[in-house]
Amino acid sequence: MSVPERDLKRTYTYQDYLGWSDDERFELIDGVPYAMSPAPSRKHQQVSGGLFGEFWSYLRDKSCQVYAAPFDVRLGVENETDDKEINVVQPDITVVCDKNKLDDKGCKGAPNLIVEILSPSTGKRDRWLKYKLYERAGVQEYWIVEPQNETIEVYRLLNEQYVLSGVYGKEDKVEVGIFEDMTIDLDLVFRE
């Protein structure tokens, strides 16, 4: 079944989402379905692969795990049932350190770190709606990547609000705030 024509008076749930066709990918933010962009650009995939590889290498022998999209992250109230859950996103990269939040469907609850790689069709949503959603849900660290400009904005949660930790370019190294000893060389991530 595909997503019905949007009823602006209706709040959709994760249960609805699970019944939609796999031909199109959607995210739910506060019960509103948003179509995800079609196949990402080559640059998007290059940056995603580079960042994923860095996280995977670092986490290989640790208790935290990294996942690449598509991977459902449900950001509702703890123990909320599928018919009540109204926030389901598929970040480009997700790092989860609490294995109790993982199930066969993905992650239920706030991951430790989320990376969103902007595309022309999702930039506004990633910068505004998802920023607020991730902040409200308690995601400790949120990275917004601009692949064309080769920059990464790093936001860290402080007193339940995001604070811009820095904006980093291709020539920089980024310290991952949720891990004491992890640094990512962005030249390796943005290299063609």
Give me the tens of pLDDT residue by residue for the chain, a chain 192 residues long: 455 555 667 888 888 888 887 777 888 888 888 888 777 889 999 999 999 999 999 999 999 999 999 999 999 766 677 788 889 999 999 999 999 999 999 999 999 999 999 988 888 888 999 999 999 999 999 999 999 999 999 999 999 999 999 999 999 999 999 999 999 999 999 988
Looking at residue 78, its pLDDT comes to: 66
What is the C-alpha to C-alpha distance for residues 65 and 42, in angstroms, rounded to an integer? 25
φ, ψ at 166 (rounded to 5°): 170, 165
Residue 136 dihedral angles phi and psi, to the nearest 5°: -60, -35
Alpha-helical (H) ranges within 96-140 are: 123-124, 130-137
pLDDT for residue 5:
59
Starting at the earlier edge strand, list the strands of the sheet with 161-169: 65-68, 93-96, 113-117, 141-146, 151-158, 161-169
Pairing between strand 141-146 and 113-117? Answer: parallel
Q: How far apart are CA 136 and CA 118, in angstroms?
A: 21
Q: What is the pLDDT of residue 79?
A: 66
Domains and CATH numbers, the chain: 40-190 (3.90.1570.10)
Q: How far apart are CA 174 and CA 152, in angstroms?
A: 9
pTM confidence score = 0.91
